[in-house]
């Protein structure tokens, strides 16, 4: 049986940093002989053909699989990934403080708020992309997330 290393994230966006990272990781994994799917809640229409709906993780992820979870916002894909039997590594890309979107984008306020709450369940799995992200994650694990400071 071929080793399987899959990735999951809320949204695969066209041209963004997380999307480029996810596609690059998949390219390297497949070149090394691993089976590798990208499970998402949503994807830019130009990238949909490269993804698998997160619902398909159920029954597809085996205990020996590795699931790389790119965490940047609350999502149904995140909550589903948490329940999977495979081994998981969390890559924390930071969560924008919800207050930045108040009065601008109601759905993003909700997703960022829920993402901060979901984050506490992933203790022990995080690989941060920067020391700032690791500090924020450690704060979330202690039951509080460091509040952002706005510059005037």
Q: Is residue 91 one of the residues assigned to a domain?
A: yes
> Which two structure tokens, joined as six digits, stand for 134?
């690791």
Using one digit for the tens of pLDDT, what is the confidence trace for 22-51?
A: 999 999 999 999 999 999 999 999 999 999
What the block records as the tokens of 69 is 């979870």
Domain-embedded: residue 132: yes
Q: What is the pLDDT of residue 3?
A: 85
Measure the CA dihedral 106/110/115/117, to 10°: 150
Instruction: Flag whether 59 is in a domain.
Output: yes
146 domain-assigned: no
For residue 143, pLDDT over 50 is answered with: no
- Its pTM stands at 0.76
Q: Which residue has the higher pLDDT, 144 or 57?
A: 57
40: in domain = yes
Structural domain of 43: 5-141
Structure tokens at 149: 């400071």
* Helical packing angle, 131-141 and 106-119, nearest 10°: 70
Q: Is residue 149 part of a domain?
A: no
Residue 140 and residue 129: Cα distance in Å, rounded? Answer: 16
Domain count within the chain: 1
Contact 70, 21 (CB under 8 A): yes
- Locate all alpha helices (DSSP H) within the chain, ordered by sequence: 17-31, 76-82, 106-119, 131-141
Please state the rounded mean pLDDT for residues 82-98: 85
Q: Check which CATH number belongs to the domain holding 114 and give it.
A: 3.40.50
For residue 44, being part of any structural domain is answered with yes
Q: Alpha-carbon torsion 79, 23, 17, 43, what sign? A: negative
In a domain, 110, yes or no: yes
């Amino acid at each position: 049986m071929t080793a399987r290393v899959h990735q999951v994230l809320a949204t695969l966006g066209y041209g963004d940093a997380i999307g480029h990272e996810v596609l690059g990781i998949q390219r390297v994994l497949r070149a090394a002989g691993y089976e590798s799917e990208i499970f998402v809640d949503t994807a830019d229409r130009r990238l949909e053909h490269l993804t698998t709906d997160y619902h398909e993780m159920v029954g597809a992820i085996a205990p020996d699989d590795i699931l790389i979870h790119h965490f940047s916002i609350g999502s149904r894909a995140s909550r589903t990934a948490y329940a999977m039997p495979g081994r998981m590594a969390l890559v924390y890309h930071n969560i924008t403080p919800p207050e930045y979107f108040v009065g601008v984008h109601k759905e993003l306020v909700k997703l960022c708020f829920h993402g901060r709450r979901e984050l506490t369940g992933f203790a022990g799995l995080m690989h941060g992309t920067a020391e700032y992200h690791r500090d924020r994650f450690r704060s979330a694990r202690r039951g509080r997330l460091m509040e952002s400071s706005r510059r005037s």
